[in-house]
Amino acid sequence: MTEKPSLLIQDLAFAYPDGNQALFGVNLIIQKGERVALLGPNGAGKTTLVMHMNGIHSTSQGRVEVAGVLVDSKNKESIKQIRSKVGVVFQDPDDQLFMPTVGEDVAFGPYNMGIRGDQLESVVTDALTKVGMIDFKDRPPHHLSFGQRRRVAVATVLAMQPEILVLDEPSSNLDPASRRELGDILRSLDITMLMVTHDIPYALELCERSVILSGGIIVADDTTRKILSDENLLKSNRLELPVGFSI
């Protein structure tokens, strides 16, 4: 039996209530274990696309499947299942951390999925160990540095044991050491990954494949190295390599 892709998007189109068309027939397949960077200028539709993956936006035209499960925002059971399969790490970790301690934050999702006792303790310990934050389990999140809070935010998602990890600008506002440490952690994870980013060196470092979304459509889908080597493609989609950076 052929393994289902982690993400299947077919002919996805979406317009906001004010009539602004954000997506125009997007098609994307991400196989299990792939690491894909989603690149594109502001307003390209990247956030809108991600919001379809966990049912925040209803799929009015087209189809979205995660690990073979249809995303159906009208079906509460479907959405519950999908949100355990799609782990989204937001750009601002403070949007995800709200409990008195790091351990309680990481336990929140699994607890609400019905996990209790020793199993819950094991899940929390495993997630915090993966991001190098087990020694901070009993600390209040607001006492941590920004980089440490982002790692805890990743742990809150990993504790749900998702099929696919979605990261929204994971390197933003990190100092060089924190950026490197997070990169090492992300590389070590055995998980499908979709990374929404403007950080082109980070995309090259962590993702073998990249997709450019521009004007609500996918305009390029290839190896990251090949895409970043195409100067005209980058320029036409308002993407720039950092000064002094070469492929």
Mean pLDDT, rounded, for 190-215: 95
The tally of CA atoms less than 13 A away on the side-chain side of residue 13 is: 7
Output the pLDDT for position 177: 94
- Distance, CA of 35 to CA of 21 (rounded, Å): 28
Output the pLDDT for position 139: 97
**Residue pLDDT, tens place only, 43-77:** 899 999 999 998 888 888 999 999 999 998 788 88
Considering the entire predicted model, what is its pTM? 0.92
Mean pLDDT, rounded, for 110-114: 91
Lowest mean pLDDT among 8-12, 36-40, 239-243: 239-243
Mean pLDDT, rounded, for 223-240: 94
Output the pLDDT for position 3: 83
Mean pLDDT of the chain: 93
- Distance, CA of 21 to CA of 235 (rounded, Å): 23
Output the pLDDT for position 244: 79
Domain positions in the chain are 7-236
pLDDT at 1 over 70: no
**Residue pLDDT, tens place only, 16-40:** 999 899 999 999 999 999 999 999 9
Output the pLDDT for position 36: 98
Six-digit token pair at 7?
């993400």
Query: Which numeric CATH code is attached to 7-236?
Result: 3.40.50.300
Mean pLDDT, rounded, for 203-210: 97
pLDDT at 197 over 60: yes
Mean pLDDT, rounded, for 103-124: 95
